[in-house]
Structure 1
Amino acid sequence: MRKRISLLATAAAVAAATLAVAFPADATLAVPKHLGHVRIANHFDLAAGQMPENIALLPDGTANVTFAGSRQIAQIAPGGSTRILATLPAPADGGVKTPALGFPLTTGIVQAPDGSTYALYATGTAELTGLWRLAPGKAPERIAALPANGLPNGLALDPHGNQLYITDSALGTVWAVPLSGGRPTAWSTAPELAASGFLGANGAKVHDGALWVTNLDKGTLVRIPIRPGSRAGVPRVKATGLTGIDDFTFTGRGNEVLATLNAPNKVVLIRPDGTHTTVLDTGDGLQNPTSVALRGKEVYVLNAAYTTAKDPNLLLARMQSHR
């Protein structure tokens, strides 16, 4: 486990070193009060590989998360207790061929209306890489195989099209898979999804008739219209200059977005015109934020501590009125 964590830190450090040029570590910014009541609700076990990567909120107040370094799907109760729901099988070679990282990791996660949890798993092997489903009372099963040389990362559910969209950070592709599973289709391979040194297409959300995707290397937020027949439209970059952007969520105010910037240790508010403002930073307890979700006015931020190696955690805050 320590070797796996070390490999992850090394890979993340490559990205962090690149990003540091654009984002000096000693930069200080005044953080507007768009978020309040900031507190750390959960601390996770770094030595056990509990580096939280992605989050799905459930109607009853619980949250399902993926732990990247331990191949696990876990559930966090409203009171803060953490329960492991499943540990995905380890590849025979230890996942050394996993693109960019060299170890297996669980990434994107969503919750379906029927109570099933869907999660992505990257291993560098054809036997295990793909989309997995954890149905209530059943063991996890892979329902769609994805390329072994890819890195499935972001996962988004389109309730209208009854399908899932998967970003591949290594291959610069968005895959589409039916909710029931099956053979994936390369839904988009637009240049806006490609990597430019480390990882490309990352977070994914369906919103306002489109799939929205972040690109970590390019620091962009991209909107891809979902055309009739669930075809991909022409991508349009909606925001730039978002160094190290990872996952994101919509605030409920039109196309306004909260997004995590991983290596810079920030959460930013992105306005519909593409401008952005920092709303959380290291002073609030961020440790390489990977994912953000919203329930009402409550903001959930996962921190994986990939390069800080200090305190993987779940941070909570509340949205404030800023209009």
Structure 2
Amino acid sequence: MSRRPRVAAVAGAAVALTVLAAGPASAGDPAVTDPRVVAHFDFAAGQNAENIALEPDGSADITFAFAHQVARVTEQGATTILATLPDVPDAQTPVGGAVALGIARAHDGTLYVTYATGTEKTGIWRVAPGGGTPEQIGFFPADAFPNGLALDEKCGTLYTADTRLGTVWSLPVSGGEPTAWATGAALEPTAEVPFGANGLKVHDGAVWVSNTARGTLLRIPVREDRTAGPAETRATGLAFVDDFAFTGHGDTVLAALIMADKLELVRPDGTHKTVLTGTDGLDNPTSVAVRHKKVYVNSAAFFDTTDPDPNLLLARISKNKLR
């Protein structure tokens, strides 16, 4: 199976989405400094670093997309494989084969992973604390492409963004079939770029979602009865945005722009600026995590045709200036 996604249309459309809603620097912006790559992964083995969840000790739990693996990477770069999802030889997905995508961690160390296969194995899989054999708990439509994943432990709900069907699904942590929690044009892909809702986070009473095709960041309020309110567009011009993370208690975001090899700081008013680039080590960045004064960025190197370098990058963030 090819290790490169079959998304030539995405690369070809990149030129059409290069206008960013850039804004001037603000005294309230957190600074991202001292970037360093702490681990390099094996591109040929399918170790495209896709999504990330953090452990209390600062280690990163990472999905390796085409290897169908979950790995734990220490801040010093030591890498341990925790689990391998089952092989699906007949997999047919928009990226050419089965792919492990989103990851979320419960307080007890249980990990949840999204797996897109084009078969009945598509859905959410659970990995016990410490690793082991994954167990499928969420059974999604075969043509779904569950991507970004977040866990709301207060209500025992998993939310995932379906990049192909333009849907946010909800699933109880006990498992079963998902519910289409939010739908609509704001979440859907476009004719030019077949990848819609992508990254997803639960934050301050809402589910936030990025849309890769539309270059947007959305906020979907969670009503008191747990249903979805109307989607609000909070930022535009984020060309080929993938995953994102909040920098603190406010609504400032760090977003990965996969085709541009950029990490973008998105302010609460929707303006944004670049804080890391390919010269810092980014190679098709796909996901971001923030804890205390540290920023973690995964690079998958999906589209790098010269010297692909899937990796994990760490940087510092000045939390004292958060908005």
Distance in 1 (alpha carbons) for counterparts of 2:86 and 2:221: 36
Contact 1:292 1:301 in 2 (8 A): yes
Structure 2 residue aligned with 1:132? 125
Distance in 1 (alpha carbons) for counterparts of 2:176 and 2:89: 24
Structure 1 residue aligned with 2:248? 252
Matched residue SS, 2:161? strand
Unmatched tracts of structure 1, length 5 or more: 25-29
- State the shift of 1:160 in Å: 2.0
**Correspondences of 1:59-138 after superposition (within 5 Å):** 59-93=56-90, 95=91, 97-98=92-93, 100-126=94-120, 128-136=121-129, 138=132
- Code of the aligned partner of 1:275: T
- In the alignment, structure 1 residue 236 sits paired with structure 2 residue 232: yes
Change (3 A) 1:138 1:69: closer
Q: TM-score, normalised by structure 2?
A: 0.92
Structure 1 residue aligned with 2:175? 181
Matched residue SS, 1:287? coil
Change (3 A) 1:18 1:272: same
- Aligned-residue Cα RMSD (Å) equals 1.8
Structure 2 residue aligned with 1:313? 311
Distance in 2 (alpha carbons) for counterparts of 1:239 and 1:252: 18
Contact 1:33 1:279 in 2 (8 A): no
Between Structure 1 and Structure 2, which shows a larger proportion of helix residues?
1
- State the shift of 1:181 in Å: 1.2
- State the shift of 1:253 in Å: 4.5
**Correspondences of 1:128-277 after superposition (within 5 Å):** 128-136=121-129, 138-196=132-190, 197-277=193-273
- Code of the aligned partner of 2:260: P
Contact 2:84 2:133 in 1 (8 A): no
Distance in 2 (alpha carbons) for counterparts of 1:253 and 1:189: 27
Unmatched tracts of structure 2, length 5 or more: 20-24
- State the shift of 1:161 in Å: 1.7
- Code of the aligned partner of 2:134: P
- Code of the aligned partner of 2:232: R
- Code of the aligned partner of 2:272: H
Distance in 2 (alpha carbons) for counterparts of 1:297 and 1:207: 19
- Code of the aligned partner of 2:194: F
Structure 1 residue aligned with 2:22? none
Q: Alignment identity in percent? A: 51
